[in-house]
Structures are given as C-alpha cells and as structure tokens.
Structure 1
Amino acid sequence: MSGDHRNSGTTAGAPGVGRMPQAKLVLLGDTGVGKSSLALRFARGQFPTHCETTIGAAFLTQTVKVQGKNIKLDIWDTAGQERYHSLAPMYYRGAQAAIVVYDVNNANTFDRAVSWIDELRQQTTGNILIVLAGNKLDLASEHRAVQTEDARVFAEENGLIFAECSAKSGHAVNEMFMMIAQKMIAKQLNNTNPGQVRLNNEADSSGCRC
C-alpha cells in the first residue's frame, strides 16, 4: 500500500461515475497518545523516533483494497492540545469514521477519550463510526493503567468498536484501519451513488479483537 501527504483534502466522496469511493477519517485524543504515530504507521509504515507536536491538524491519504474494491481514506490527525480544541469540529464535521485514541498506560487519557466520544455524539449526526483505540500496547506489560476488559465493556455499552494497538511495534494498526475500510465499503455497496460512502445508525460493538 502507498500513502501520500498533501496540504489540503476533500471530504468523503463527490458524485461521479466510476469515481473511487473515499471516506473521511479523523483521529482524536489527548496530546501525546500517539495519534500521529498511528497515522504514519498505517499510511507510510513508519514509526517516527521524534514526533513533533501536531499544530491544528495534519492530513494524509491512503488507498487500500477491500473485497476487490479500492477505497481512499482521507486521514485527519488532529492536535490534542487544549488550545486547539475549538478547531476540532472543523475536522470531524462530515467525517464517516473517527478513531478516538488513548494511552493504555495513562488513565487520564482514557477519561479524555470518553469526553471526545461524548462530544462526537453531541456534535455529529450519529452516522459516524467511532473506534475506541488504546495505543502504546508495547509498554503495557509494565505500565498498564487502563485494563483491556474495562475499556472493552465501555465500548460495547456505548456502541463503539474497540481496539488495542501499538504504533511503535505496528501491532494491530493495519488491522484497525482495514477494519474501518471494510465497514466503509460495506456501506458503500448498499449506496446507489458509487462515489460516496454513507453510514447508518447501526451500532457495531463486536470490537476489533486484536
């Protein structure tokens, strides 16, 4: 798979016969949880040894093939610092999916993830697919602060998809993004407009059992 980095992007799919379907995906979460690292690991197969703090948002794209069909993911990596919070709606508005990231070794970041989920539910139409993702699993054997089962139960009770992953090792990162792409394609196949992906309100709490 190949990704590219651009200065600007589009929201999910404009109409057009034969146009490749695309979906807008946003990453949200507290500063330092590894949102940028997850995006780079997926789009470029890289883990940055030093990652600059995101200012506003960064944008990457990745095209993947699911069920014999290509879909382009427009990935918006938002800043987690509080001073940029007011900008977040500009990026998650119109998104088909959101990955809300927390650090499995920091309970405060999980509480912040819960706040982001509440905000998404209040500010979006309800058609958005939300993934609750615990990052930095590579450090969990010694430093875990958020238990897997506690996060999984929360996700199931709130109609979220759950995943634990590690941007550093790459564990379950591609699987998480590909699972989102699969759900986008599944919705697109039921859509009469071949260039646009839409979601309904069906909650899927089956989780990403990675």
Structure 2
Amino acid sequence: MAQADGVPLPDAAPSRVSKLVLLGSGSVGKSSLVLRYVKGDFKSVLPTVGCAFFTKVVAVGNVALKLEIWDTAGQEKYHSVCHLYFRGAQVAMLVYDVTRKEGKEFAESRGLLFMETSARLNHQVSEIFSAVAQELLQRDMARLGSSPLGNSGAMRLNQAPTRRTKCCSH
C-alpha cells in the first residue's frame, strides 16, 4: 500500500491532480519553502532560472491528491516568461519576506488563506500545503455536491495559526 506523508493511501493512482504556482520577488524563499516541503530539507539555493517543478502526493481524508508545484523565478528579467507557468493553476501561493511588508491585511481583505511560515525553522510549512490541499479538495467536492471530509475534517481558512510567532524568530 502506498503512503503520503506517512498516511496509507489506496494503491490506485491519485484521484486528483492540482497545479500550484509559487509567486514572489527574488530571494524571498520560494525555492527553500518547496524544498523543505517536498524533500524535508533546508538549503540556501541559487536563484531559480525560469521555473522549477516538483510533485508531491498528499492524503486528504481518504483521497490522494497530487500537487504539481511550480516554483517560478522572482527576478524581473524572467517576468515576461513566468506567466506561461501560471496557466491552468488552481492555486497561486504568494511568498514574501515578512521583514519587508506584512501580507495579513492583504489576505484578509480578499478572503485568502494566510499563514506565516519559515522554511529555515520548518514552521508551518507542511501546514500551509495541507490547508491548500484540503481547500482544493473541498472546492472540487462542492462542485460535485458532496463533502470529502465530512463535518469532522472541515478546515476553516483564515483562522489564526495555533502558534503565533514571526517566521524567522528563534
């Protein structure tokens, strides 16, 4: 039996595939965030050239969801081609450096999911991707008229994180 994040999954292929793009300025930690999530490792990496591609299968309830994660370059010289990677994406994850501008107000004013994460400290990295996966599956099932998680598995987006710390504090 296959496993995703330590959770046994049916032997069948993932029943859902979703495209997620990471957006943000250069050197804000997009690549570090996705490497921490997919490989469980933190490294200082060179700037992304164009786009990097990762996949991860996650368990949401009893459903296997394959996330296709596109890590786009943040440098301005790549802006003209990055829009090509956005096509067909169900999720755009905005990544920024919290020392520059706080995004909580922006997210709340638009009804968006917001979490402060730290790839370096491994703080809320898997939680943000899990929340996104749950939201994707809930939206899919809402279109079909059923709930994949039942009442007990519902997750309210925009709720305050359980641990209130800044992303890079010790």
TM-score range, shorter chain: 0.7 to 0.9
Q: Structure 1-normalised TM-score?
A: 0.62
Matches within 5 A, 1:87-166: 87-107=81-101, 146=102, 151-166=103-118
- Structure-1 residue corresponding to 2:134: 182
State the Cα deviation string for residues 153-192 of structure 1 (Å, max 9, x = none). 2211122211101000110010000000001111222345
Matches within 5 A, 1:31-70: 31-48=26-43, 50-70=44-64
The 1:163/1:172 distance shift into structure 2, 3 A limit, reads same
Structure 2 residue 38 is matched with structure 1 residue 86? no
Higher helix fraction (1 or 2): 1
Ranges in structure 2 where 5+ consecutive residues have no aligned partner: 6-12, 145-155, 163-170
Contact 1:176/1:208 (8 A) holds in 2: no
Q: Structure 2-normalised TM-score?
A: 0.76
The 1:19/1:35 distance shift into structure 2, 3 A limit, reads closer
Tell me which amino acid in the other structure corresponds to 1:28.
Answer: L
Tell me which amino acid in the other structure corresponds to 1:105.
Answer: T
State the Cα deviation string for residues 48-74 of structure 1 (Å, max 9, x = none). 1x3011000000000000011100000
State the Cα deviation string for residues 71-108 of structure 1 (Å, max 9, x = none). 0000000000000001121111110001101101123x
Ranges in structure 1 where 5+ consecutive residues have no aligned partner: 3-17, 108-145, 193-203
CA-atom RMSD in angstroms: 2.1
| Identical amino acids, percent of aligned pairs | 43
